């Protein structure tokens, strides 16, 4: 029984020494993860600088690009009028502000 008591006293003393040694083990662990936590909190903000177009603006952008290619290849049957109409709609909806 004396051996168990000695071992218990040794364990208790070593636990107290680790808490009282002033190393701040718990605080070091907290500070070690602060960068990870900060990074996870700020990660969504990285993508917020880019403005994502609405589905309608995206469709207009793609349609205008297709019509411009058609005009460049020589297709003129109604293409110029349609292109002018979609360009006007593109400007009216202020789709230029988005990143494509």
pTM: 0.50
Q: What is the pLDDT of residue 42?
A: 74
Looking at per-residue pLDDT, the higher value among 53 and 86 belongs to 86
Burial tier of 89 (Cβ tally within 10 Å: 0-12, 13-18, 19+) = middle
Q: What is the pLDDT of residue 7?
A: 52
Who contacts 61 (Cβ-Cβ below 8 Å, separation ≥6)? 53, 90, 95, 100
Q: Where are the domains of the chain?
A: 2-49, 55-97
Q: What is the mean pLDDT of the chain?
A: 77
């Amino acid at each position: 029984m004396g051996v168990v008591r000695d071992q218990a006293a040794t364990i208790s003393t070593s636990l107290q020494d680790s808490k009282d040694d002033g190393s701040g083990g718990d605080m070091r662990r907290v500070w070690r993860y602060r960068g990870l936590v900060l990074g996870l909190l700020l990660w969504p903000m990285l993508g917020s600088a880019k403005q994502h177009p609405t589905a309608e603006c995206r469709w207009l952008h793609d349609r205008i690009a297709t019509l411009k290619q058609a005009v460049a290849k020589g297709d003129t049957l109604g293409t110029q009028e349609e292109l002018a109409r979609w360009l006007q709609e593109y400007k009216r909806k202020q789709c230029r502000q988005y990143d494509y």
